[in-house]
Amino acid sequence: MKIVGITGSTSERSTNRKLLQFMKKHFSKNIQMEIFDIKGFPAFNEPEERIAPMEIRELSDKIEAADGVIISTPEYDHSVPAALKSLIEWLSYTTKPLVDKPVMITGASHGSLGSSRAQAHLRQILDAPEVKARIMPSAEFLLGQSLQAFDEEGNLNDKEKIAELEDCFTEFLLFVEMTRHLLKERSTRKKDVNSFSWKNI
């Protein structure tokens, strides 16, 4: 199973990047994960021709080819970082690779709440009419105090947190398979999204 991991932070010391790297290694028997940083991506500027920059198009192609996506987001001011929101805006405005794509949301933060508000906000964004991702329901992985959560080799320290992550990930694999079966006979959804416009509402 091919998974695209997206780090929702541009920080050089991002613990969300560490979390995805741990997942890539820990679940290597189940998936092939390619991790993408959003650092350096241009800010969304609503181009009239609806063509994204090359680096955005390359990520879009990877998402299209993947079985699922895992986004790990920090929390800035009770929300997702602007750079992550900008990426989703590029994707929804141009190629729309997240339509019906199974998405798992995780998050790490330096505080104790583990990006809970940001994850809730990200769910709203991914459920927008222009995005229409398939977000894994009733499950979230919150990693608080993330600066102390990893050892020198990048492994999670807390066995209970590892077990919690394993449970969430097992559910995600099942969610990907269920989504695949659910959508097997459908072919109109992306067409509906491509024709969506707030001007017609």
- The pLDDT tens digits for 137-154 are 988 899 999 999 999 999
Res 55 pLDDT > 70: yes
Give the residue carrying structure tokens 């994850």: 119
Per-domain residue ranges of the chain: 2-200
Q: Tens of pLDDT along 14-31?
A: 999 999 999 999 999 999
C-alpha radius of gyration, the chain, whole number: 16
pLDDT over 70 (residue 102): yes
Q: How far is CA 160 from the centre of its chain?
A: 23
Query: What is the pTM assigned to this prediction?
Result: 0.91
Q: Which CATH superfamily is domain 2-200 in?
A: Flavodoxin domain (3.40.50.360)
Report d(CA 172, CA 67) in Å as an integer.
Answer: 11
DSSP result, 134-158: EEPTT--EEE-SGGGSB-TTS-BS-
Strand, helix or coil for residue 129: coil
Reading the block at residue 109, the tokens are 């933060």
What pLDDT is recorded for position 113? 79
Helix ranges (DSSP H) in 27-72: 54-65
